[in-house]
Chain A
Amino acid sequence: MFFKRKKDEVDNSMNQKNLVDKELIPVDKADFIQKMKDCLHDSADLNIKELQNGFTLIFLDTLTDKKMLNQDVLSRLEDAKASPNEALKHITVSSTSKHKYVEDVIDSILHGAVVVHSPGHPVIISAIVGTQENRSLTRPENESQVLGPQIAFNESLATNISLIRRFLTNPNLCNESFTLGKQTKSAVSLLYLKGIADDDMIERMRERIKSIDVDGILDSSILVQLIEDNSFAIFPQLLLTERPDRACAWILNGKMVVLVDGSVQVIGAPQTFIEFFQSMEDESVRWQIATFLRVLRVFSMIVSIFFTAIYVAALTFHYEIIPQTLLIPLGESRSRVPFPPIIEALLLETMIELLREAGARLPTKVGQTMGIVGGIVVGTAAVEAGFTSNILIIIIAVSALASFTTPNYMMGNVIRVLRFPLIILAGFWGFYGLMVGFCFLLIHLLRQSSLGTPFMAPFYPPRFEDWRDSIIRLPIGWTNSRPLQTRPLDRVKYRYQKNKK
């Protein structure tokens, strides 16, 4: 019953399409021009050019490259006989196609094509002469690093795919294309390595992308919320990157990469929690240093989330745990503060967040000044006015700093925001509230999955082999297997053998 109804709906919509949308192209010239004008609502940049020999050329001024249009289409068609086949023969543009329906014609005009109508023929030739409004390739700004390639994706889907293809010259690199968004019709590409990426996982991703029904996709960071497992979760479950080398490293590990036209970041799936604390540079530096940095990042995440809350809990309820030598300076610095620790902490945390937000929204130069004014002037003044204690300023500054060590911007945001509920819990119920918050976060993390795979892997479920490249990184010969997380069809990345000579 249920299935039947669904099928009926599909049939109906298809019929409608045939009747209404899939309209055949008018043979008559005047009718055709009128039709095009109607469909594009007589747009101001719609250019209709009628040639002497009967051809009618229609294109959007704003989308086409004038030079190419003149050289490869206009001048070539002037001597031709007015028929579609003749037009095809004369146009010297690499991507041309034939269309039968009005809908397709409109679509190609909107993609920067010039369409050629020949009187008496129900077929339209379209030739892509669109401009590629392209930013030149720049250095990655959000994921900048000293070592490794200094190139970032830009807004063009074609350029981004070409960047990946340049790293991965491999015929097995598959590229599946989707069109998403009822209004925007954005192009979305799914890239993976055939023979390494798990087929079930690819199918799952495909289904998720296909089932999305929205009016527009403007950026990959929006798409990622539509395809991730749990959009209620605090933590992001899929990673975004602007580095082609990182995207390629993911593909080589058996992951999938999703690119969206018009966005500089690509989505990688599936991911694990620990990968939010890894950076591509870890692969380039010595393994001891990489391990140190990763441990430092995880440690700073913990510090950033819990440090202020521990201060609040200890000073509100558990004075006993502070050793006497530490208690004296603490008491001295807090003696002039009129607020309880929770208010004091929330006040300062909010101030830091204000500074950060103001700095992020302002132009770079003003932002720096803001930082100095906010950080030094307001900070010092707040202590001198007796609003806050010196020690709390240190603690909050350290935890703010620590939150910026997270290589991923989204995770950094989450960490900063998490501090607030924990401070409140600590202010109300001391260490007990803090532990309840911690347990909640632990359960929350354990409940998440990334594209159906456990988010806390390789720690839980424990996969000891994958620990070699998780919070630690072992020397290159040891990390030659793909993570189990992606269920790769081929587990071994390479066989490591050093040349003895």
Chain B
Amino acid sequence: MKVHIEPKPQNMVNTFLLIFVIHSMQVGVGIQGFQRIIYLEARHDAWISVILGGVATAIIGFIMVKTLSVYENSDLYGIQYDVLGKWLGNMINVLFVLYFLGGFHVIVRNYIEVIQAWVFPEVPTWLLSLTLVYLVYYGLNGGLRTVVGVSFFSVVLSLWLVMLLAYPIQFANWDYLFPIFEAKITEILRGAKQMTFTVIGFEIIYVIYPFLKEKDRVHRHMQYGLAFTTILYLAIMVVSLAYFSGGQLERTIWGTLSLFKIVRFPFIERFEYVAITFWVLLILPNLMLYMWAATRGISRIFNKKEQKISWILLTFIFLTLLYPLTRVQINMFNDYFAKGALYIVFVYPLLLFGAVLIKKKFSRKKDEANAQTNE
């Protein structure tokens, strides 16, 4: 495997678009119901947990970009190969591929569950997953630029959904937010930990980095994207805390969707039907980029053409989606995935960064030693 990548110029994307990639990757199915799980830990101080979760993403985002910028133009797969050697490196590469595929699977599962719970109880899972898989396949065939374009339009075209969140504010009871800091620090931290499933997605920077045009602006735009997401989550959390009472929040599985329920216009009511189906556009960039990242991984490890691999992977993932899971099992799967993601996204990057730094120091010493002997 070559550590450094030289993408074709027609596959490169503007660094500016990284904002949209990061944001659209983070916003997916987690946002539909993150209020409850955090509220259960941190009570009405849950918004502090959201901020802490946002700060954590900013720090990890910084570490990730720093790791990548040690190399000239490489991605996660190349770095792990370089640092950890052929066998261990490729093993962890495969682990990451599995993680990306797992992300794809979890998103589709959760979304289909929402669709079946709220809109169409009787539409079969295979049909819904087939349409999603086909859309992903069609987008991936267009290349990275198409995929990034979908995430751009996904963010831009769904901004109006955010504005609808202003609607519940008129029924808000701001006293629900007080007193502040009633929860213990440990509870707030545990709440922040529960944010994992909602905020992950920005690890895509590990794979997309070599395809960005201006490398010196990557970090700035990454932080813009992360901040945008954090502000959005904070706004939703504050509105939810003020709108729902504590007891309601404990029982509301999909808090954000329930907020849409009360939106009413002269020509349309029960807005959650529109919102939930519109969510296809919000999860589409997630699915595409996860699948793209997995495809990149396989093609890097085995040195094969990407198009064929995306075919195989999509068929494979479609077959796994056919396996019937109950609500409890999906919940369990979510929890396992979130736990894994916590280590993969929030702990492992620190280790990798350390390893990269040591390797760099070591090789520089070696270079210096070589230079001296040459003299």
Within 8 Å of chain B (Cβ to Cβ): is A363? no
Within 8 Å of chain B (Cβ to Cβ): is A429? yes
Query: 1/0 contact trace for B277-310 toward A, CB 8 Å?
Result: 1101100100000000000000000000000000
Query: For the complex, what is the distance from the CA of A321 to the CA of B269, rounded to whole Å?
Result: 4
A116 to chain B, nearest CB (A): 56
Query: For the complex, what is the distance from the CA of A461 to the CA of B269, rounded to whole Å?
Result: 35
Contact A320 B120 (CB under 8 A): no
Contact B270 A440 (CB under 8 A): no
Contact B280 A436 (CB under 8 A): yes
Contact B142 A431 (CB under 8 A): no
Mark the stretch among B171-179, B260-268, B343-351 that contacts chain A: B260-268
What residues on B are CB-neighbors of A323 within 8 Å? 264-269
A309 to chain B, nearest CB (A): 12
What residues on B are CB-neighbors of A436 within 8 Å? 131, 135, 280
A359 to chain B, nearest CB (A): 32
What residues on A are CB-neighbors of B336 within 8 Å? none
Query: 1/0 contact trace for A419-459 toward B, CB 8 Å?
Result: 00000000001111011101110111011000000101000
Contact A432 B280 (CB under 8 A): yes
Query: For the complex, what is the distance from the CA of A322 to the CA of B266, rounded to whole Å?
Result: 9
What residues on A are CB-neighbors of B149 within 8 Å? 446, 456, 460-461
What residues on B are CB-neighbors of A318 within 8 Å? 119, 270, 273
Contact A447 B142 (CB under 8 A): yes
Contact A431 B131 (CB under 8 A): no
| In-complex Cβ contact of A443 among B17, B138, B266 (8 A) | B138
Mark out the residues of chain B between 226 and 282 whose CB falls within 8 Å of any chain A CB in the assembled complex. 264-271, 273-274, 277-278, 280-281
Within 8 Å of chain B (Cβ to Cβ): is A146? no
Residue of B146, B152, B284 ringed by the most chain A CB atoms within 10 A: B146
Range class of the A interface residue count: 20 to 34
What residues on B are CB-neighbors of A322 within 8 Å? 268-269
| In-complex Cβ contact of B120 among A317, A434, A461 (8 A) | A317
Contact A432 B269 (CB under 8 A): no
Within 8 Å of chain A (Cβ to Cβ): is B115? yes
Query: 1/0 contact trace for A299-322 toward B, CB 8 Å?
Result: 000000000000000000110111
With known contacts A442-B150, A443-B150, A447-B142, A321–B271 Cβ distance under 8 A: yes
Interface residues of A (CB under 8 A from B): 317-318, 320-323, 326, 429-432, 434-436, 438-440, 442-444, 446-447, 454, 456, 460-462
Q: List 14 A-B contacts (CB under 8 A).
A: A320-B270, A323-B264, A432-B128, A432-B277, A434-B277, A435-B280, A439-B150, A442-B150, A442-B153, A443-B135, A443-B142, A446-B139, A461-B13, A461-B14
**Beyond known contacts A443-B138, A447-B142: 20 more, CB 8 A cutoff:** A317-B120, A320-B269, A321-B269, A321-B274, A429-B123, A430-B120, A430-B277, A432-B115, A432-B119, A435-B280, A442-B150, A442-B281, A443-B135, A443-B139, A444-B138, A460-B149, A460-B153, A461-B13, A461-B17, A461-B149
